[in-house]
């Protein structure tokens, strides 16, 4: 929490306050920090651990049991009533994005369990974070199976490990803190809701403040100890204030009027469920204690709502998070008792995010109007998208082994068991029955004399499981002049936006290649941020000829580069066009040649045919044939359309 060296960060005061309130009342549920790279998110979080009061733990307990109330199910227990205890500093445990599940929840020694009948459980990161902080940097990049584990632990306050009939359970109550860059993708809604508070941070554009950042950073690097010593007194005072607020918070009173205000605010923002009300109430009580009060006031509720509601009021993944200050003030006024005046006590300087801390999506341009500020050719148009709908599922052929997701079949470390891996290929959980079968024929030669099974490391077999993977969905969109006719581009953008929403829900990476006039360009390199793809799609202008071959070749180059960066993630190419090629000599032949090159790479392709009208040339179907892919009419992208067609054919 020391102020080095990042003072020029917008929202840093709000982040400081959110972290302090979570330390005062861990029941709030932690903090999610959103911001661009280089904004000191990790620096602030790591500095928090040094300010927290120490915790009393049972001597020798690997699970940090509280001597006053030890966990009766502790794997190192049961602990006696007069067990020895010692005090240690609060822990900040970091959970790496690429951590294995066994490292997170702990693991059992299968060999000892089979041969000696001993449950030898090695604690994981969640056990280490019990009664402390669990920090996940780039939490939005966390694999789905680890997200599921975190959700279970956060909801139950316990971790249960099941390994082939052997069960171990221990307490795991921690303050969850995550940092993320929204440009790299959003969080799953279930995990997003588990964070009590959220803060947006961004770097300042003021030159004087940026100079001060550089000056302090250089001073820190030149003499780290001396630099830190200069803030030792301030840190000690802050730690004392946090400890005092922790002692005060149990005695803070939440009146019925305050609870009514909280309910009115949450209802006004149409949040889902009751967690928002509970978190806001806990945050308001913690803020009152931080200010030295024993009664919650309107100001406490205002600060709590600014921190607890922005990430809970989002209605779909393409809406920007934020909170309307006027709506907040109106809700507070509607529920405020007539006799209640402004609070007498002043809060700390960092009393929550100010107006405009969250963003609202900017309105799109009107359909068919010239794009302002767009330096394109004459006749260029920018058309907005319509409302998204539930799109049909397109999958990649075969079985992959990529990142966890919900699109195509893949061999994963979770899912249904479809086979057994040999010894030495430790990818997935151990398969008990196959291990016993491998060890059974060798019991006499190994001198087995007791009831236990003699197991060697090379006997252990691991389960082969099949689940779903996320893919790279690369959109290659025709933005030529013919696409702007009869509002066709609006339908195209609605279809692509619907597929982007589907990609968000299925944990895919997305990319966008566009082609018009005489060239093709990568409008968005492959990313997991579908928000970025949606914004680029919304701003996509149309006009000019149709360089179809150039678009396909640029898409092929993007896929080639991405296969080197992420070879396990299989691609799905979605070409959105009417099949016409009008740019350059032999445009159609060159387009078909480019399509053949793509087909030779084995990429799974889908052509969304935008051709309309009674007289159709069938060029989209011809392109799909050269790609070796599926041909789908633009109007058949909706899942409901596919359902109606299936029923019609069945009848």
Neighbours of 392 (CB within 10 A): 16
Round to the nearest angstrom and report the end-to-end CA distance of the chain.
Answer: 68
275 is catalytic: yes
- Cα atoms in the 13 Å half-sphere on the side-chain side of 439: 23
Task: Report how far apart, in Å, the C-alpha atoms of 464 and of each of 413, 422, 518, 528 are.
Answer: 7, 10, 49, 27
Q: 3-state DSSP: the chain helix, strand, coil percent, rounded to 5?
A: 40, 20, 40
Quick check: 624 and 630 in contact, CB under 8 A? yes
Task: Report how far apart, in Å, the C-alpha atoms of 87 and of each of 56, 60, 65, 67, 346 are.
Answer: 4, 12, 12, 10, 35
Q: Taking the alpha carbons of 163, 164, 166, 167 in that order, is the dihedral positive or negative? A: positive
Burial label for 622, CB within 10 Å (0-12, 13-18, 19+), is: middle
Neighbours of 508 (CB within 10 A): 28
SS3 216: helix
Quick check: 606 and 583 in contact, CB under 8 A? no
Query: What backbone torsions phi and psi does residue 474 show, to the nearest 5 degrees?
Result: -105, 120
Quick check: 418 and 481 in contact, CB under 8 A? no
SS3 assignment for 517-559:
CCEEEEEEEEECCHHHHHHHHHCCEECCCCCHHHHHHHHHHHH
Task: Report how far apart, in Å, the C-alpha atoms of 405 and of each of 103, 415, 472, 562, 640 are.
Answer: 21, 11, 11, 18, 23
Pairing verdict, β 462-469 and 404-412: antiparallel
Residues paired with 468 in a beta bridge: 409
What kind and span of H or E run contains 42? helix 41-48
Quick check: 176 and 150 in contact, CB under 8 A? yes
Of the residues 217, 275, 392, 490, only one is catalytic, namely 275
Longest pairwise C-alpha distance within the chain: 90
Quick check: 1 and 44 in contact, CB under 8 A? yes
Pairing verdict, β 571-577 and 541-542: unpaired
Catalytic residues: 275
């Amino acid at each position: 929490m020391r102020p080095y060296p990042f003072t020029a960060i917008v929202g840093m005061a709000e982040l400081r306050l959110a972290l302090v309130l979570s330390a005062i009342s861990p029941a709030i549920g932690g903090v999610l920090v959103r911001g661009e790279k280089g904004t000191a998110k990790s620096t602030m979080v790591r500095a928090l651990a040094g300010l927290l009061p120490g915790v009393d733990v049972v001597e020798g307990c690997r699970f940090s049991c509280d001597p006053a109330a030890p966990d009766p199910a502790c794997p190192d227990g049961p602990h006696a009533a007069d067990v020895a205890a010692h005090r240690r500093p609060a822990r900040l445990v970091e959970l790496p994005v690429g951590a294995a599940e066994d490292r997170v929840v702990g693991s059992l020694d299968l060999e000892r369990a089979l041969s000696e009948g001993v449950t030898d459980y090695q604690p994981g990161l969640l056990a280490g974070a019990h009664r402390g902080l669990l920090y996940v940097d780039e939490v939005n990049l966390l694999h789905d199976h680890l997200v599921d584990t975190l959700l279970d632990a956060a909801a139950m306050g316990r971790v249960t490990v099941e390994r082939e009939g052997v069960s171990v359970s221990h307490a795991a109550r921690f303050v969850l803190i995550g940092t993320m860059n929204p440009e790299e993708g959003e969080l799953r809604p279930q995990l997003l809701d588990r964070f009590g508070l959220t803060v947006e941070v961004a770097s300042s554009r003021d030159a004087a403040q940026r100079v001060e950042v550089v000056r302090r950073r250089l001073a820190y690097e030149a003499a780290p100890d001396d630099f830190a010593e200069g803030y030792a007194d301030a840190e000690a005072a802050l730690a004392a204030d946090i400890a005092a607020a922790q002692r005060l918070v149990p005695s803070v009173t939440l009146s019925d009027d305050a609870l009514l205000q909280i309910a009115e605010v949450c209802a006004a923002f149409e949040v889902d469920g009751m967690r928002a009300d509970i978190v806001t109430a806990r945050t308001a009580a913690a803020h009152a204690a931080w200010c030295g009060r024993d009664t919650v006031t309107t100001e406490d509720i205002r600060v709590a709502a600014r921190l607890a509601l922005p990430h809970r009021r989002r209605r779909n993944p393409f809406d920007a998070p934020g909170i309307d200050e006027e709506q907040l003030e109106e809700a507070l006024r509607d529920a405020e008792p007539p006799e209640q005046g402004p609070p007498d006590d002043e809060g700390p300087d960092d009393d929550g995010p100010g107006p405009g801390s969250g963003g609202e999506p900017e309105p799109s341009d009107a359909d068919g109007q010239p794009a302002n500020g767009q330096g394109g050719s004459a006749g260029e148009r920018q058309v907005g998208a319509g409302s998204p709908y539930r799109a049909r599922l397109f999958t990649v052929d075969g079985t992959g082994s990529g990142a966890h997701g919900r699109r195509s079949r893949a061999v994963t470390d979770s899912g249904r068991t479809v086979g057994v891996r040999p010894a030495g290929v430790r990818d997935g959980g151990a398969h008990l029955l196959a291990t016993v079968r491998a060890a059974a024929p060798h019991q006499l030669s190994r001198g087995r004399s007791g009831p236990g099974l003699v197991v060697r490391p090379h006997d252990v077999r691991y389960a082969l499981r099949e689940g779903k993977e996320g893919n790279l969905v690369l959109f290659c969109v025709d933005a030529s002049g013919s696409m702007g006719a009869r509002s066709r581009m609006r339908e195209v953008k609605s279809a692509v936006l619907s597929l982007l929403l589907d990609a968000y829900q299925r944990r895919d990476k997305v990319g966008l290649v566009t082609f018009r006039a005489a060239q093709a360009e990568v409008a968005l390199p492959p990313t997991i941020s579908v928000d970025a793809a949606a914004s680029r799609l919304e701003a996509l202008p149309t006009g000019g000829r149709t360089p179809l071959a150039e678009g396909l070749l640029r898409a092929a180059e993007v896929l080639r580069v991405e296969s080197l960066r992420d070879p396990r993630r299989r691609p799905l190419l979605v070409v959105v066009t009417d099949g016409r090629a009008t740019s350059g000599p032999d445009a159609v032949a060159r387009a078909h040649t480019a399509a053949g090159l793509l087909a030779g790479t084995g990429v799974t392709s889908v052509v969304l045919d935008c051709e309309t009208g009674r007289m159709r040339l069938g060029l989209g179907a011809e392109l799909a044939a050269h790609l070796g892919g599926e041909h789908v009419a633009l109007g058949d992208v909706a899942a409901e359309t596919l359902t109606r067609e299936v029923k019609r054919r069945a009848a």
